[in-house]
Structure 1
Amino acid sequence: MQEPQSGPDRRMFLRASAVTGAALTLGGLSTQAASAAPGGFPDYTYVRTLLTPSQLKYNPTGEIIFPTVRGVYDKLASPLGRYYLYYAPHDAPGGICLAHGNSLEGPFTEYPANPIVSNNWAPHYSVSHVSSPHVLWKEDTKEFWLYFHGENTTTRLARSKDGVHFTYDKAVLSTSMMPSGTTETSYARVFRHDLPSRGAHYVMLFMLNNTTNHRDICWGWSADGRTWTFDQTPLVRHSDVGAVNIGGPHLLTRDGSAYVVYNKDKESGGDLMITEVGADFSLRRHLGVFYNSRSGPPENGRSASPSFGTDGGVPYMIFEAGERLQGSIAVARG
């Protein structure tokens, strides 16, 4: 990474270059970082906006959400860039989209044939919208596994060898798999995480809504990433952390323990929060604010749906910045 010559970027570069501390894992990537946030994670600082709806060719609704970033330089022979950034509009028709770049600080270039997955995929489904893409690199099959929702009642799986062209697999989660009164099971992310006592190698974190219209974080486990068992009680309840709604969960691991980072709605402060759940998900230790949303643009008091990665040994968080369905995709550096 080229060293900035002056200004706040240089100060953040020097801080990042000087960090020392315990090894940590961000979405499966290890790095060294200064410990400032709860749980010993980096203290992330906003750098810049990466994607703004008005600047995109595919922009059916004027809003985009739920970024997922994946390093592909070590997985593909001829990638479009070192990093693939998946995102989507939420409102109908939605559409799973792709951008690519050579640095997590950008710039990212919109894939010209977006959306790569649409709301109509015959003969598998025809729905009002598809959204919330989360992509997992499946090492044993050398595939990119895309989890996405459409409708909000159903989370689906598609698979790809190149991260661009996907083949439909199956529905992996629906409201019928959860307690009576469940109305939404969506915004799922899947992570490689061993749970020996459950015979599982993957965990899924997702948002659940029910007839009370308060959203919680729930979870499930799987041996293969396709067939799932789901806990029937929330992993983190909105009332546990003084929120009206919580969502956008992401798993982080550090020093043998696991943590869930998630967003509060703007009514409840709009910050990213963190809860330690332990390596076996039996712990519930709420640690408070993970990332404090700034009042100014582009966050305007709300950050959500984080995705994590490293670039040149420096940790980054790519996230949804701004009011719900009015925001952009931004990047912060640890």
Structure 2
Amino acid sequence: MRTSSTTRRSRTGPPSIMVAAGAALILGVAGPAAGAPEGGEGGPSESDLPVFEFAGILTDYDELEYNPNDEFIFPSVFHAGEHLDDPLGEWYLYYAPHDPPGGIAMMYADSLDGPWVEHPGSPLIENEWPPHYDWVSHVSTAEAFWHPEEEQMIMYFHGENSETRYALSDDGVTFEYGGIAVDNSDGPPGTTESSYARVFEHPDPDSEYDFAMFYMWNWQDDVRRIAVAESHDGREWDVRQEPLIVPGFAEGQNVSSANLWEWEGQLYVIYHASSGDIHARTVNAALTETGPAWTLHSSSGVEPDVGRVAAPEIVTHDGQTYLFYEGGHRLGATIAYARHNPDAERPPAPAPDPDPLRQMCSGGSSDEFDGPSLNEQRWTMVREDIDRHELAGGELVIPTYDSGVSGAAFPLQELPGSGWEVTTELTVEVSEPFQQAGLLVYESDTDYVKLILGQGSNGPRLEYIWRQNGSDRHSAQDTRAVPSDLDETFWLRLSSDGAEMTATISPDGEVFWPLGRPVDLGQIDPVGVGPFAMRGATAAPEIDARFSWFRWAPTEAEREACAGDTEPPPGEEPTEPPPGEEPTEPPPGEEPTEPPPGEEPTEPPPGEEPTEPPPGEQPTDPAPGEEPTGTPSGQAPVADSEGGTAGPSTHPAGTGSEELAHTGAAGAGLLALMGAGLVLAGLALRRRAIG
């Protein structure tokens, strides 16, 4: 950690917040904000974020003189006309290739809409600068910051990814080398990258520091995070040892290129992620707390505005707000921009699934694990002779067997022939390599698909692995480090449309996020699916995996039965009307047990007690030794491990996830059932590489 040797300047009032160009206009407002991170009642919501519409590409590969490899990243916009004497244009735009040799290039224009003119001296900073550094593989990610007291530009850039350097300039074109601002040694042990920095005046008037920096950390687990550093002079930086942002499910495995932005009085940290989108989180002025991850901007999907969007830089000038960013795939990115459309509305969020965990209605072969043993009519045990599972406390407890799939015991249920979905709630804490638990679709000991949480060499990971003839289909697309919002209890789901099988995971039992590539069901012939746990033939200690239930989503017929849409058995009347419907009239000659709406109840015949107590009175207790009639409100018999009910299961409402059915009759009705929950899962996360 570096400490400053300079004297901190006095501050007579709150600083203007400056990003990149060192002017409040870059943030889109004219002053600071406390910026509480809440996004709840009374605070901003995702719908309050502005809508940016694609306006054009700025770096045309064919027209640029300096273009070593057809890719440019990380735009930094500088208001030259506000700070420099006799600038080339009102605005300077810095950018660079990332791949070797890199090189900091510059364009200038009199309008943010262009036209932009390439500076003929690009690159202004190269990957060789003796005697300061003889050679680095590349220099990139230019960040132009105007120092308000020194009245000069500080240009931050990286080269290599392990360190962020800086240079000084009076004209924005010629630079003197300054030194290293931050490097891996400033971060926690195991930090492997320290780059992609943005610098701004500290937004907290009570901070002892004058400047702050967001930059990217990578650690040995290969998860990129957003770090915070603070400085008195913009040269020597104190680095906080805890990241500000660790990626969650919404972002994917990595986050990078964070920037500070203010909109309608609220501070945000904006950044890009493996999702391929630009995200925004509310952040407080102390830069210590953030809100949930929202999507600020995505590509339109219409050429040339396609692929990922990254490295956001927002500028407001003359009443118009612009978003500059890098667009396109990681190794072919270009600099693009978009304009705020004040008349556009953000699309509404998909409606949540009203029964995401199928707690209110599940398929008939679901199991709540609340019996003394597994129901043999539903479950088949593989390697029953070594089986050591237990049913305890309403959970199926499976030890991590000291083997791979070929030596472990696990229960299976038969798979239906068409569309289906199955979900389980799992609690497990892995800590040693090869400890793992999850769902297994089993064909043989050498052919199977598993969706797991397992401990890897660099920490816990989520994986969706397809093994064929003893070889795994396993790439970066099929695995990811555990997100920050995943606790020891989470939900796993496998879904089939009859042709492909997909995997999703939920950290909260409400929204499911996809993991890995689909599995072609035409290439496997599975025996069944079920929960499992193992640790391989390793020295890792045995731990327990605890499965709270195993639920199929209902078929269309089962769903209708749960909703009360089917006719009751002959001679029986429903005791409760279907939800949302009025009670049916009784047969002729019978009195209704409940009066029609707006009428008073009739008195019972002399000598009889009313079926319902008068208003204000408590119902009478049943006679000694008798149970109350009916079931508690909102509850019904549940399918258990002993067999229980043969039809669909209904469960008390609660928080959760979502599921599909265990019979071959699913088909189109099943897909309709998935509804909004699957829309959420399908749209939630587009996994892409990140720079």
TM-score scaled by structure 2? 0.42
- Corresponding residue for residue 291 of structure 2: 285
Residues 119-158 of structure 1 mapped to structure 2, 5 A cutoff: 119-125=127-133, 126-158=135-167
User: Does the 8 Å CA contact 2:250/2:293 hold for their aligned counterparts?
Assistant: no
Q: Letter of the aligned partner of 1:53 in structure 2?
A: Y
Q: 1:53-91, CA deviations, whole angstroms, 9 ceiling, x for partnerless residues?
A: 332101111111100011111222211111000000111
The answer to whether 1:232 aligns with 2:241 is yes
- Corresponding residue for residue 79 of structure 1: 87
User: Does the 8 Å CA contact 1:44/1:333 hold for their aligned counterparts?
Assistant: yes
Residue 224 to residue 194, structure 1, CA distance change in 2 (3 Å): farther
User: Does the 8 Å CA contact 2:29/2:262 hold for their aligned counterparts?
Assistant: no
Which one is further off, 178-187 or 296-305?
Answer: 296-305
The answer to whether 1:214 aligns with 2:219 is no
User: Does the 8 Å CA contact 1:298/1:327 hold for their aligned counterparts?
Assistant: no
SS of structure 2 residue aligned to 1:127: coil
Distance in structure 1 (CA, Å) of the matches to 2:208 and 2:249: 29
Which one is further off, 48-57 or 135-144?
Answer: 48-57
Q: 1:89-146, CA deviations, whole angstroms, 9 ceiling, x for partnerless residues?
A: 1111100011001111111110001100001111111211100000001111111110
Distance in structure 2 (CA, Å) of the matches to 1:28 and 1:200: 20
The answer to whether 1:178 aligns with 2:187 is yes
State the aligned residue count: 304
- Corresponding residue for residue 119 of structure 2: 111
Of 31, 52, 57, the match for 1:49: 57
- Corresponding residue for residue 101 of structure 2: 93
- Corresponding residue for residue 554 of structure 2: none
User: Does the 8 Å CA contact 1:53/1:62 hold for their aligned counterparts?
Assistant: yes
Distance in structure 2 (CA, Å) of the matches to 1:256 and 1:226: 29
SS of structure 2 residue aligned to 1:94: coil
Which has the greater radius of gyration? 2
Distance in structure 2 (CA, Å) of the matches to 1:144 and 1:156: 14
Of 253, 256, 268, the match for 1:247: 256
Distance in structure 2 (CA, Å) of the matches to 1:37 and 1:102: 35
- Corresponding residue for residue 403 of structure 2: none
Q: Offset of 1:40 from its aligned partner?
A: 4.1
Distance in structure 2 (CA, Å) of the matches to 1:39 and 1:240: 20
Which one is further off, 290-299 or 72-81?
Answer: 290-299
SS of structure 2 residue aligned to 1:152: coil
User: Does the 8 Å CA contact 2:55/2:338 hold for their aligned counterparts?
Assistant: yes
Q: Offset of 1:184 from its aligned partner?
A: 0.5
- Corresponding residue for residue 278 of structure 2: 272
Of 304, 307, 311, the match for 2:317: 311
Residue 26 to residue 324, structure 1, CA distance change in 2 (3 Å): farther
Residue 29 to residue 165, structure 1, CA distance change in 2 (3 Å): farther
Q: Offset of 1:287 from its aligned partner?
A: 4.3
User: Does the 8 Å CA contact 1:144/1:161 hold for their aligned counterparts?
Assistant: yes
Residue 242 to residue 69, structure 1, CA distance change in 2 (3 Å): closer
Residue 304 to residue 276, structure 1, CA distance change in 2 (3 Å): same
Residue 151 to residue 189, structure 1, CA distance change in 2 (3 Å): same
Q: Offset of 1:324 from its aligned partner?
A: 0.7
Residue 242 to residue 86, structure 1, CA distance change in 2 (3 Å): closer
Distance in structure 1 (CA, Å) of the matches to 2:131 and 2:48: 47
Distance in structure 2 (CA, Å) of the matches to 1:152 and 1:239: 23
User: Does the 8 Å CA contact 2:104/2:140 hold for their aligned counterparts?
Assistant: yes
Alpha-carbon RMSD across the aligned residues, in angstroms, is 2.0
SS of structure 2 residue aligned to 1:238: coil
Residue 215 to residue 26, structure 1, CA distance change in 2 (3 Å): farther
Structure with a larger share of its residues in strand: 1
Q: Letter of the aligned partner of 1:115 in structure 2?
A: P
Distance in structure 2 (CA, Å) of the matches to 1:220 and 1:257: 21
Distance in structure 2 (CA, Å) of the matches to 1:139 and 1:170: 20
Q: Offset of 1:189 from its aligned partner?
A: 0.6
Distance in structure 1 (CA, Å) of the matches to 2:327 and 2:45: 19
Distance in structure 2 (CA, Å) of the matches to 1:156 and 1:259: 25
Distance in structure 1 (CA, Å) of the matches to 2:187 and 2:129: 25
Q: Letter of the aligned partner of 1:310 in structure 2?
A: T
Distance in structure 1 (CA, Å) of the matches to 2:305 and 2:217: 24
User: Does the 8 Å CA contact 1:257/1:279 hold for their aligned counterparts?
Assistant: no
User: Does the 8 Å CA contact 1:134/1:188 hold for their aligned counterparts?
Assistant: yes
Of 151, 165, 177, the match for 1:168: 177
Distance in structure 1 (CA, Å) of the matches to 2:127 and 2:328: 25
Q: Offset of 1:282 from its aligned partner?
A: 2.6
